[in-house]
Structure 1
Amino acid sequence: MNRFVFVLLATFHLVSHAHGDAPATFLAAKVMAKQQIFFDQALSDQGELYCGCKWEWTGKSGGRIDPKSCGYETRAQKTRADRIEWEHIVPAWIFGHQRQCWQNGGRKNCVADDPVFRAMEADLFNLYPSVGEVNGDRSNYQYAMVTGVAQQYGACPTRVDFKRRAAEPRNDVKGLVARSTFYMYDRYGLSMSRQQQQLLMAWDEQYPVSVWEKEWNRRTAKVMGHPNPFVTGARSWSLGHKPSREGIVSAVPARAAAAPSSKAGSAGVIIGNRNSKVYHLAEGCPSYDKVAPKNQVPFRSETEAAAAGYRKAGNCH
């Protein structure tokens, strides 16, 4: 059996059963987050994640920060301070390090070989627009109560402790951050330290679900095919919580995935080339089975491929 075909079909088994119309890649997720979830939030009172800044949309998924709207002052990285970036509330480094693929080759290897990692990386319940500089400073640090650190970004209340490798977001989003984190650890069977659990449980209780968080959950659920149960109240976190692992879907059996690569399109798979940003259909595109496995990105529709910035190969007929 062609190894990549197996991975493709396993990915689609996971996506179609666990995520409905959820994006299949991080790139597609950013576009969908803008178009279907945060489309009207650039000038809202909520603002972006860490500082509450308003922004102006630019390009397919980017934005330009309005520093005056939140009193933001650049700490060190002017270019990143000026732009919106998509923050993984639970960093990819953290959930990636709990996958074998990361141990075998880091994030690039996980994107290429692990459908569960791709699902986590593209999960819209874990993505939120943020000031790029704060996103970069937060890095892969765990959340914590940061003391002894003066405000670093003007009036922005989020603080980063570089020595302790910890970050404390502004109060307005502490509950949202906690419930998003619970969701990721529960859905994908991740392991959380007792200290982190205790902190996030306190934030969850202290900062209840807001009107906007309910709306964010509603919009995101419409795309993902399921809500965040920690927002709806269907599920709660307690010490020693046993994850549901609802996002960990077994790959299809080998006998069901043994079709030759030229027939992969029968499952609706469209193959994109991550280098050329060109996609190929199973029927009518002669280069469909010629894209190197390491460069292949699967899509379920031409619409999804286009949303991710890909165009149809010129030799398709």
Structure 2
Amino acid sequence: MKKLLSVLTFALLIPTQAFGNPPSTFSEAKVIAKQKIYLDQANSSMGELYCGCKWTWVGKSGGRIDPESCGLKARKQENRAERTEWEHIVPAWTFGNQRQCWKNGGRENCVGDDPVFRAMEADLFNLYPSVGEVNGDRSNFNYGMAPGIAPQYGQCKTRVDFTQRAAEPRDEVKGLVARTTFYMFDRYKLNMSRQQQQLLMAWDKQYPVSPWEKERDRRISAIMGHANPFVTGERQWTQGYKTVGDGVVGGLTVNPPKATARPTLASANEVGTIIGNRKSQVYHLSVGCPGYGKLSAKNQISFSSESEAQAAGYRKAGNCK
């Protein structure tokens, strides 16, 4: 009963307007992930991704690791081992490297020019708090087996094979990272090696969906507007699986079913939508504001009303009539 009340209480913290309104940047995604997905998980038995450590929230989206809660010991970087970082379960390099924007100028170019990359980078299903040093050591390595690697982080069970460029996460999250990887590759039509498919399919089968993974999926789907079909059981990855690509059409991000679409530069003149500038914390109305529709896509945030914008700390542009 106590656990049920905790879940219900947390659910009440998610404002109604957030449903089906996914973040549009990685920075925004980290704040939302803290507030609406992991806020009550800092002291949970599950802990952060790689070592199961508990943590204390610091600032808008950061945290400080409690090493005694998980027997963590730094491998080399003590400062980084003391903090949480947001791990992309499928690394930004992995999905970015399959986009033309990455070949033309790397991550910075993708953030500025590719709406699909921005959607992938900010996808809440792909984010999880983790010990900073382990996150850094994992780098852009694929998940794999590391049987010959001795413990590297005290009692933490995740191991990184730097020679083979592979990271083996602890057993408790192997199923979760497998189903998250399936989701990302399926939704954004990415290519996965046969070897990686075989390993992740084995983890998917060996480590079935846990109650927390179902709850995590519920919380994220309320914001993103869709669930992970590999968690709900609607889809099953098999060898040679043909990716659907329901997050990509003609190079643009698809609006999920029943989701509220965020305006882009192409649709910024839609009457009634309010556009905010993340840098200046100023918002513009669709009527009477000369700056409306002139913001770069990466700096945009949308609001359904002026009161919502003001509640988020934004003020109306001074040149609005």
TM-score by length of 1: 0.83
Choose the corresponding residue for 2:273, options 257, 268, 273: 268
Moved more, 161-170 or 43-52: 161-170
Quote the Cα distance in structure 2 between the aligned partners of 1:115 and 1:33.
Answer: 20
Kindly provide the amino acid, as one letter, of the partner of residue 281 in structure 1.
H
Cα 1:228–1:290 shift into 2, 3 Å: closer
Please list, as runs of the form range in 1=range in 2, the aligned pairs for 1:305-316 lying within 5 A after superposition.
311-312=314-315, 315=318
Kindly provide the amino acid, as one letter, of the partner of residue 268 in structure 1.
T
Kindly provide the amino acid, as one letter, of the partner of residue 300 in structure 1.
S
Matched, 1:173 2:178: no
Please list, as runs of the form range in 1=range in 2, the aligned pairs for 1:35-50 lying within 5 A after superposition.
35-50=35-50
Who is 1:153 aligned against?
A: 153
Shift of 1:164: 1.2
Please list, as runs of the form range in 1=range in 2, the aligned pairs for 1:211-230 lying within 5 A after superposition.
211-230=211-230
Please list, as runs of the form range in 1=range in 2, the aligned pairs for 1:139-288 lying within 5 A after superposition.
139-250=139-250, 251=252, 264=269, 266=271, 268=273, 270-272=275-277, 276-282=279-285
Cα 1:296–1:87 shift into 2, 3 Å: closer
1:52-87 deviation line (CA, Å, top 9, x unaligned): 000011111111100000000011112211111110
Contact 2:25–2:298 (8 Å) recurs in 1: no
Shift of 1:25: 0.8
Moved more, 206-215 or 295-304: 295-304
Who is 1:94 aligned against?
A: 94
Shift of 1:20: 2.9
Quote the Cα distance in structure 1 between the aligned partners of 2:152 and 2:82.
Answer: 15
Contact 1:86–1:129 (8 Å) recurs in 2: yes
Q: Runs of 5+ in structure 1 lacking a partner?
A: 1-18, 253-259
Would you identify which runs of 4 or more consecutive aligned residues in structure 1 move more than 3 Å? 249-252, 260-267, 276-280, 282-291, 302-307, 310-317
Quote the Cα distance in structure 2 between the aligned partners of 1:245 and 1:232.
Answer: 18
Quote the Cα distance in structure 1 between the aligned partners of 2:46 and 2:274.
Answer: 38
Kindly provide the amino acid, as one letter, of the partner of residue 198 in structure 1.
Q
Give the match's secondary structure for 1:40: helix
Cα 1:27–1:66 shift into 2, 3 Å: same
Who is 2:302 aligned against?
A: 300
State the Cα RMSD in Å.
2.6
Shift of 1:281: 1.4
Kindly provide the amino acid, as one letter, of the partner of residue 122 in structure 1.
A
Please list, as runs of the form range in 1=range in 2, the aligned pairs for 1:56-67 lying within 5 A after superposition.
56-67=56-67
Kindly provide the amino acid, as one letter, of the partner of residue 132 in structure 1.
G
Kindly provide the amino acid, as one letter, of the partner of residue 179 in structure 1.
R
1:86-142 deviation line (CA, Å, top 9, x unaligned): 100000110000111111111111111111111111111100110111111100000
Quote the Cα distance in structure 2 between the aligned partners of 1:262 and 1:212.
Answer: 37
Kindly provide the amino acid, as one letter, of the partner of residue 202 in structure 1.
A
Who is 2:130 aligned against?
A: 130
Matched, 1:119 2:122: no
Contact 1:265–1:281 (8 Å) recurs in 2: no
Contact 1:74–1:154 (8 Å) recurs in 2: yes
Contact 1:280–1:316 (8 Å) recurs in 2: no
Quote the Cα distance in structure 2 between the aligned partners of 1:215 and 1:137.
Answer: 29
TM-score by length of 2: 0.82
Give the match's secondary structure for 2:39: coil
| Identical amino acids, percent of aligned pairs | 62
Shift of 1:297: 1.3
Contact 1:37–1:216 (8 Å) recurs in 2: yes
1:225-246 deviation line (CA, Å, top 9, x unaligned): 1110101111000011001101
